[in-house]
Amino acid sequence: MPKAPINGIELYYEVHGEGPVIVFAHGAGGNHMSWWQQVPVFQRDYRCVTFDHRGFGQSHDLPDGPGRNAYVADLVALLDHLGAAECFLVAQSMGGLTGFGLALAQPHRVKALVMADTVVGIPSQALFAERRRLVEQGTAATGHAYHPSLWQRDPAKAVLYEQIRALNPPQESNEERRRRALLEAATEDGDLRSFSVPTFFLFGAEDSQIPASLGRMAQQIVPGSRYVEVAGCGHSVYFERPEEFNRIVAGFFAEVGA
């Protein structure tokens, strides 16, 4: 089991395939295993890196450790450990902290960024004020991390999602996540006028955690970014509709790479 000594912890990661590096940053309901429907596809043309954020899967945080505040530094150190000067990056939900954070801190290392069902990490007071408003009125941070119909359409996949989630150490309850979403805010607006990392927002049209309206708003805030919705899908397009997710991401990365 590969682990890298990074910032005081042993960070679990896996590498599959050869070629340009793609890093997959999972959300709060997942870990490195979440990408089981992406790695077999992308490893044909890319060097796929999956990992467990500290406090998830097999990456244990320090007692009273920095948690989310170390996500960007951890990814920088992992890229250094792997000898990867740059990468394509896919960030799901919570992983937006890592993905957009790296794009801000070291834009030269991010060839392109997919923000999948996430706006976290974007320094915009207006965006997070709108998110808080939606949480307060009960139209955000509610329900499953995937569309409820998944239990009818593909019950085995729904069970697998829950099993992958259960492999993590104890996490916040739904109510705790909702309270955090109410408190989360950008302390100040970032100057994104010179932001040049090619960015694609990919949302489930019926996302009940981070509603698609926030993705559309984020696309207006991040210069040059694009936006697409996947119909009949919730907060986890990558898991619910992997073929469509993979096609969209592969097309975007191929265009940027060309």
Kindly provide the b/e burial profile for residues 56-74, where b requires at least 16 CB atoms within 10 angstroms of the residue's own CB: bbbbbbeeeebebebbbbb
What is the rounded distance in angstroms from the CA atom of residue 120 to the CA atom of residue 220? Answer: 15
Hey, where are the domains in the chain?
3-257
Q: What is the pTM of this model?
A: 0.95
pLDDT at 95: 97
pLDDT at 137: 87
| The CATH number of domain 3-257, selected from 3.40.980.10, 3.40.50.1820, 3.40.640.10, 3.40.50.970 | 3.40.50.1820
Look at phi and psi of residue 49 and say left if phi exceeds 0, alpha if psi is from -120 to 50, else beta.
beta
What is the 3 state secondary structure string of 116-155? ECCCCCCCCHHHHHHHHHHHHCCCCCCCCCCCCCHHHHCH
pLDDT at 184: 63
Helix axes 71-82, 96-105, angle to 10 degrees: 70
Q: Per-block average pLDDT, block size 10, for the chain (258 residues)?
A: 93 98 96 98 98 97 93 98 98 97 97 97 92 88 89 95 92 66 66 95 96 97 97 97 98 92
Cα 56–chain centre separation: 14
99-129 residue pLDDT tens = 999 999 999 999 999 999 999 999 999 998 8
pLDDT at 185: 56
Enclosing H/E stretch for 111:
strand 110-116
pLDDT at 179: 66
pLDDT at 138: 87
Residue with tokens 């990661």: 13
